[in-house]
Amino acid sequence: MDRTTPKPEELPGNDFSLFDKEERVLENADAMIVKLELVAQGVRDLAGAYQQGYREQRRMLRISDRLQLDLHQANQTLASQADELKQLNMALETENKLREALAEELHLIATTDVLTGLHTRRHVLELGGHEEKRWRRKHGHLSLVMIDIDHFKKVNDTHGHSAGDEVLKAFAAVCRRTFRQTDVIGRFGGEEFLAILPETSLDEACVIAERLRRQTQEETIALHHAETRITVSIGATELLDSDSSLEQTISRADVALYRAKGAGRNRIERIDTRGERNA
């Protein structure tokens, strides 16, 4: 072509070229490729994040499974320990009940005469000591009655010792019927008994003692092959301000008792501040 011949794009009125569109398409394609790459990168990033989250979820799930397993094992251990503790508590409760029963039995043995059911000598003295302290605070009346079963040895010699035991039990029953609930009555030794009467004057004590003497001689005691009756000798006195201790008052009641026995038995002798006289 001759150099004087104009190029097509130089021809007048010709403002369109196929190459222009191609260039624009190529430019748009490049832009789309860039965007697609960005989208793809976003997808890759999202997939990576999802994979990371998935792995984290699986890790947390494994941790949760281990924790649940550990918790289950811990619950089993606690349940086993709770059962052992329950059994231990039951054993301790049983042991405590046995100890309480033993303590009660020992207290009963120490305070109650096995044969008569009355207080033992030691316990009646202990209770008498309490009554003495209360008397010294209030300065009212506190009387003592010492009792001895007459001819008790003859009962044993005639009917045997088992008969003597029956006599002691029968007399204890008479005592329980005669004395008041506030009175303290105990077996002082052998066939001898001591009664402590709080808030009771010597005159009132002698009235109670006479009732005991009368009811005793009227009591018929059934033995294995026979029946018998008994009498008692009684010494009565009252606690005095001059007494240094309860033992001194008991000694005075004992003196009165032996005077009753020496005067013929089945009677009451008393000793008070005015000297002594028969009740």
Q: Could you give the residue numbers annotated as active site?
A: 191
Beta bridge partners of 149: 232
Single-letter residue type at 98 = L
Residues 6+ apart with CB under 8 A from 147: 192, 193, 194, 195, 209, 212, 232, 233, 234, 257
Residues 232 and 123: their CA atoms lie apart, in Å, by 23
Would you state the structure tokens that stand for residue 201, as one six-digit string?
Answer: 């004057």
| Integer CA distances (angstroms), 29 to 17, 25, 43, in order | 19, 6, 20
Beta bridge partners of 198: 142
